[in-house]
Amino acid sequence: MSISQPASGNPLNPLLDFSDLPRFGEIRPEHVTPALDVLLAAAQTAVERASAPATPASWADVVEPVERATEPLARAWGIVGHLNAVADTPELRATYGENLPRVTEFWSSVGQNLALYEKYKALKASIEFETLSHERKKILDNAVRDFRLSGAELPEEQKPRFAELQERQATLAKSYSDHVLDATNAYAYFVQHEPELAGLPEDAIAAAREAAERDGKTGWKFTLHFPSYFPVMQYAEHRPMRETLYRAYVTRASEQGVTYGGGQPEWDNTGNIAEQLALRAEEAKMLGYANFAEVSLASKMAQSPAEVMRFLDDLAVRARPHAEQDWRELREFAASELGLSDLQPWDMTFAAERLRQQRYAFSENEVKQYFPEDAVLKGLFKVTETLFDVRIRPDTATVWHPDVRFFRVERQDGALIAQFYLDLYAREGKRGGAWMDDARTRRRHAQGVQTPVAYLTCNFSAPVGGKPACFTHDEVITLFHEFGHGLHHMLTRVDESGVSGINGVEWDAVELPSQFMENFCWEWDVLSDMTSHVETAAPLPRALFDKMLAAKNFQSGLGTLRQIVFSMTDMRLHVDFDPAGPASALELAREINQQYHVIPQAEFSRWLNTFSHIFAGGYAAGYYSYKWAEVLSADAYAAFEEAAQAGNGSVLDSATGTRYRQEILEVGGSRPAMESFKAFRGREPNVDALLRHNGMSA
């Protein structure tokens, strides 16, 4: 079997079979190390051949063989990483941890390989470069930049330390994520007296009852997994219960963390945070940058940390008056209507939901009954099919859990474009949050075009009591968001894997297609077609939709400032914070909250200890990209609003959808994101649409 080509047949080790989809039903932890032995050896051999003095500096002799040999390694390790995130077991976690340093060391060695770097530079300076496609030119440009950021130009005596930094950071990120998952899994709150459940929705109570029964206990079990935790914060009238769960939630993975059956001190991420920040600062200085934020921004649209902070400051100034009004109204309502004159952090979500119900005469739980899973998926797929001229059909594949579904994306003639796995429900052993990941990238090889495959993962409430799963409107928005990422990956037409789909896209533009899709969740002609009451099958009433629309920007000022605190904390931690100094990262976060937010931060809060985006998710000095890309996505969506005004009144305009697909989705990372945006919109982006969508227009 040749590892450098897609394998055929049925290898004994399923991780070495690249002929089709992953064989999830057969993959076991004991397969990981032997598979990596083979794949790492093959990849290392290809790198050595490409970087040898006698090897010509050509695409066919250098770039192509390295890509061909490293792609199977990336795919196999991606499968292992995915399983580690969605089906965690002690055995899998152990083998993942044992092999993570090996994989990290390999990629570090490639990035620091000066001889290989010289081949890429020589190819870029050669006559052949001018004959390459623009996709291949972009891959070379990105590669030369990434070699520099990987330490290829460092003196040889410094490279071992730089490699140590990469390996240690990868290990710390995994530990950080493991600690958050373990601390979340380990907590339980049991209710024995039914009056304490007052205010909670029936489905939340039923889920808690089933959770207790699975543990062999009486009463109701609540956890810190979001589908269990959030309804308590939103609806529970029993204030001590809200306080207990809130304190447990915001102190997870910290020295204050409380768990059911006794806490584990090694789950405290405080030291992990300080060490990661110190290592990132050291890495930046070795590379000749003033701070790690400059390293992070070297591959993003934003030009400097100062530009990012000016952007955040400007947005904060625009949002603050709205946030101050939101906060004043919430406190006044809580005092006059709920008897909560001393509004505490564990009261805010509860009070906000009561204020929403009073002001707009509906509750989120009422809306939730209109969004059963199948109706939501039908609506999501209809939007996609109408705009982008594709069909989505159920498909078959072996999966890692019985709840996982699988689909194919086709052309109208039935030809396969892409496939995706859909894993919607929260469960133990599954990392929290929602994300899209790359199972397989589109690329052209000797056998033809390899079609892309995506993982789409969420953490929604599972079906309970024999009824289908129902989603809150926020969860529907989350699903559309992740599907937008999936479309970016799946609808690419680029055949070079290095810039296919989301590959090669600037990190602060990656959220454009995801946030763009969220907008359709606020359109009547979309929602009216994707709702069916779980009991009566009635569609969402127009009167209820109008209330939802009126409430769309409820407390949007507070929400914007919250995101700015997250983004500014992330940026400041990587610009001017000294991990060895007298102040802690948490103290800096509190200082920034005090400067930018109108709501004080709870003294006991340890939210940084679960801020996985920047300490375990690749968003270090990049969390601002959510707001940055929101400017792009809102402005892109405005093109559909303009088409609706000029045409038949529907934002589901296929002509505009075709242009968006061609100029944004299909080109992937083959050209700078700003060029793609301008090709679609005809101009550079502006912030007006974002402010209008958030009810903060001047």
Active site residues: 482
Distance of CA 660 to the CA centre of its chain: 22
The token pair that represents 529 in the structure block: 């077609």
Decide: helix, strand or coil at residue 157: helix
Decide: helix, strand or coil at residue 593: helix
Q: Residue 100: name the closest of 29, 182, 170, 14 by CA.
A: 170
Give the pairing type, strands 443-445 and 448-450.
antiparallel
Q: How many whole angstroms separate alpha carbon 671 and alpha carbon 676?
A: 7
CA angle 248, 252, 253 (to 5 degrees): 155
- Contact 162/109 with Cβ under 8 angstroms? no
Question: Helix, strand, coil: what percent of the chain each, to 5?
Answer: 60, 5, 35
Q: Residue 207: name the closest of 225, 190, 222, 226 by CA.
A: 222
- Contact 388/488 with Cβ under 8 angstroms? no
3-state SS string for 104-140: HHHHHHHHCCHHHHHHHHHHHCCHHHHHCCHHHHHHH
Q: Residue 59: name the closest of 106, 123, 130, 11 by CA.
A: 123
Q: Which distant-in-sequence residues (6+ apart) come within 8 Å of 328 by Cβ?
A: none
- Contact 687/632 with Cβ under 8 angstroms? no
- Contact 305/567 with Cβ under 8 angstroms? no
Q: How far are the Cα atoms of 520, 573, 644, 694, 695 from residue 650, in angstroms, in the given order?
A: 11, 44, 5, 21, 21
The token pair that represents 655 in the structure block: 């002509």
CA atoms in the 13 A half-sphere facing the CB of 19: 11
The token pair that represents 197 in the structure block: 């459940």
Q: Which amino acid is located at 494 in the chain?
A: V
Q: How many whole angstroms separate alpha carbon 447 and alpha carbon 335?
A: 69
The residue assigned the tokens 């290829």 is 152
CA angle 9, 11, 15 (to 5 degrees): 120
2 dihedral zone (left: phi>0; alpha: psi -120 to 50; beta):
beta
Q: How many whole angstroms separate alpha carbon 105 and alpha carbon 99?
A: 10
Q: Which amino acid is located at 182 in the chain?
A: D
Distance of CA 570 to the CA centre of its chain: 16
